[in-house]
Structure formats: structure tokens, C-alpha cells
Amino acid sequence: MTSVSSGDWTANIATLLAILQFILAAAVVLRVVFTRRPPGSSMAWIVLAVVLPFVGFFLYVLFGERSIGRWRMHKMKSSLERFRDVIERKRDASQVAKAEQEPARSLIAITERVAHLPATEGSNLELIGNASDAIDRILKDIRAAKQSIDMEFYIWSPGGKADEIANALIEAAERGVKCRVLVDAVGARPFLGSTWPVRMKVRGVQIATALPVQVLAFGSGRADIRLHRKTIVIDGVTAYTGSLNLIDPEQYAMEQSVSNWVDAMVRVTGTAVADLATVFALDWTLQSEKEQDLEISAPACVAPAGSATVATIPSGPDITADANLRVLIEAVNKAQKRILITTPYFVPGESLLMALQNAALRGVEVHLCVPLHPDSKIVQWAGHRYFSALLEAGVQIFEFTEGMLHTKAVTIDDEITFFGTLNMDNRSLMLNFELMLMAFDKAFAERLSALQLSYEAASRKIDPMAWKQRRLLKRFSEGVCYLASPLL
């Protein structure tokens, strides 16, 4: 009988580990080679897989691809096809926008192809530029609701004004209003871990959790893809969207260690409400374990209530992938006079960066306003890596000094606006489920640009010469953070 020495066991284990390392590295390399992605990102994953095979493989499974899982994708495709059939029967064809002049014609055409929702005529957009005012207005509409309240949010942080909304939903459910709440599994952890969900469900409020993280469940999708939308639809005739999460602004600012939390929302009435309701219905159907009756779930046509032409643009790692990025780049390319961008996070990627540079180089006045003290230094430093190229092209950059500027808005030529949940970073542009309203309405554009310019008035403008003289350590830190930009 032959005994195996400890040295032989060690050698065998080392050999097995080496073989396993080779298999894992080869699996990642082959997958990357056969998947279309930016060359820099591909090389980064290949290097990581070769140098650290076990770590590289595990990270690739978690973060390597824009996947929500096969079963979710299948359900999304089948639900969208059935929804479109139902909605087409319900939609009033006279409400569909038919733009003949540029740039509206191109933007509307692209939107309909990539977002699968046509622009409609006949909406009214009311800008609410203060977070507390927005919550008060939402509470008023919830308390007046008669039939239904649908809400989806990324963050729900209990306390203060957020608790007032929770109580208002309970009261609505008790008087017979159908209340449905969809929250992100990660962003809404403080709410989901509190007593509120049980208290609300017992009183009749339906609550669903979007995109639960299943680290060890292969095929369940990328772990860091989140539902970042913030939408409320009340009685199918009034809707809200924008940057505000379900938080108490003052309390949340203290929790995030910032002096002030600045948000804005838009109250929508008219035809665009049906499209916002459609996005919610699709999201609810995707997360529901029960088969939905689409004839009932699909929103009915909403009567016109204003003069704005509005396109609802959902985007995410599904069949609407890159929708907001594509439309935004087209809008920047069509700009003739001025572009105002307000965003809390700016890590745009090369395609949007070049579009903004080109706009400035052809004489368009381009403004970018970001917070001086954001809640994420890593994202801020990664974004700084893009500033030099923008400043050299003539882009004016402002850093908001009066708190955490969280509003997400773009105004182009004082005529076209983008407003909603989209940050100008890779996470929003390429990964998360987002929603923006593209509006053609001069009155709303004037109000939004005035709000954006008020942010700039409360900002310090970056001097291009001073920017070049930043310390070497600062530039090095920005460069290191920039390497992580695909994940930010």
C-alpha cells in the first residue's frame, strides 16, 4: 500500500488550483472577447482575470455584464410586447406627436425607436424647485386620491416627511384607494428593514421589492444594477417625477453629512401621464410573482391638459438600453445656442464627452453645474478627470456651494428640456433603470433654465488656468478614481 506524503498532497492541490485558475481566467477572457464592449473595459477585465483569476472571475460574475438575468429579460420582452398591443388599442392616435421641424423630428424619431413610447401632445408640466414644497404637493394629491396611487422609488428613508407620506398612503388604502409601492431592494433598505412595510401591508398598501441582490444565484443578473426611477401616478391623471427620493430633505442632509439637500420635481398632467403609468405598470409586472391582467394594468388614454409635447424615456440594461444616452447625444449635437446641464454626478464616458466638446467648439454656450461637496468623493474625483478636456473646449463649469445639488436637468436652446432621474455618469447612462421626460415647451424651458441659472449663481466658476495648476497628488487621486469610472 502506497502512502501519499504531505508534500505530494500539497503538489496535487497546487496543480488543481493552477488548473482551476486557468479555467476561470480562460472563461472570463473568452466571454469578454465575444462580448461587445469598449476596448479599455475589455482589457481591464482580461488583465484582472489573468492576474487575479479567482477575484477576477467573482467580480466579473457580479459586475462584468449589463444583465438583469435571463428570466427577467424574457419577462420584460413578453410583457412589453403585450403591453404595446393593449396600449395601441387604448391610445388616441390624435395625441401622438408628429414633428416635422428639426431638431424635434430627429429626437422624437429616435426616442420612439429606442424607448418604445411615442411622444405625445397635450401635457402640462409644473416645475417644483424645492424639495419640501414638492413633498407637500405630493401629500395634497395623495390625500385627494380617489382610485389609485402607484409609486416607485430608489431610496425610502423613514422619518419626518417620508413618514407623512407613508401615513397618507395608509389613509388612502383605508378609504378604498388601490395603493401600490415599488422600491429598490438596496436603496430602500432603511425602509424595508423598518416596521413600515408590515404596518402598511396590514392596512392594504401593496409593497414590492425591485431587483433583490442574489450574489450566489448565477444567472440572476448583475448585482449592482438598481431601480433608480422616482415616479408617482395618482388616479391615472396626475404624475410626478424628478430627483427627489422618499426622504425628509433636512433629515437626509444630516444623515449624508451635507449642509443642504437640493432636489426638484415636476408635476405632470395630460397625455404624458399615461406613459409614466405605463413605465410603472411594466416595472410592477416585472417584479410581480403573479401574472398580471394587462387589459386592467395598462393605463387608459389621458385627456390633454396643456400644450407641451412630451416623450417619456425609460432606460436600463434591458430592451431600452442606452435610450437616454442616445437621445441626449443627439440633442447635444443639434444644439445651436446654449446647453445647461445640472447633475450631481458627472462621469460621462467618451461619447457624451466628445459631443459636449464639439458643441462648445462650434460656438454653443455650454454650462455644467455640479455640487462642490457631493456625497461621493470617488465619483467627484473620477469626474474631475474630464474637466480639463471640457475647459479646453470652452465649456463653463460651475461648482454649487450651498449643499448637495441633486437635481438632474438639461435645457437646450431654451426650447428642449430633459428632466428626471438620470445622472451624467456611467451608472445612470448605462446600468440603472432610469426615467427622463424630454419636453418641447418654451414656457417650461424658461422656468427650468431659470432654476438652473439660480444654481449657477450660488456656485463658484472654475478658472481654467487655476484648474491646470492642481497639485500632483490631487491629479493622481483623480486618475485612480477614473479607472473605476465604468462602475461609477
CA dihedral 426, 431, 434, 439 (to 10 degrees): 50
Point out the catalytic residue in the list 367, 408, 425, 441: 408
Is 136 an annotated catalytic residue?
no
Point out the catalytic residue in the list 141, 375, 413, 425: 413
Is 413 an annotated catalytic residue?
yes
Residue with cell 474630464: 386
Is 406 an annotated catalytic residue?
yes
Angle at 215 between CA 210 and CA 221, to 5 degrees: 55
Point out the catalytic residue in the list 116, 161, 184, 230: 230
- What gap in Å lies between CA 480 and CA 310, rounded to an integer? 40
Instruction: Give the three-state DSSP class for 204.
Output: coil
Per-residue CA distances from 84 to 43, 198, 270, 299 (Å): 40, 34, 20, 11
Is 463 an annotated catalytic residue?
no
Is 377 an annotated catalytic residue?
no
Using CB atoms within 10 Å of the CB of residue 16, give its burial: 0 to 12 exposed, 13 to 18 middle, 19+ buried. exposed
- What gap in Å lies between CA 6 and CA 47, rounded to an integer? 34
C-alpha cell at 305: 391638459
Point out the catalytic residue in the list 228, 263, 275, 283: 228
- Exposure string for 368-396, b = 16+ CB within 10 A, e = fewer: bbbbebbbbebbbbbbbbbbeebbebbbb
* Cβ contact 219:252 at 8 Å: no
User: Of how many residues is the chain composed?
Assistant: 488
Point out the catalytic residue in the list 92, 163, 235, 414: 235
- What gap in Å lies between CA 109 and CA 135, rounded to an integer? 34
DSSP assignment of 111-126, as one string?
HHHHHS---EEEEEEE
Angle at 408 between CA 311 and CA 274, to 5 degrees: 30
Point out the catalytic residue in the list 275, 406, 425, 441: 406
- What gap in Å lies between CA 38 and CA 58, rounded to an integer? 21
Is 408 an annotated catalytic residue?
yes
- Which residue numbers are catalytic? 228, 230, 235, 406, 408, 413
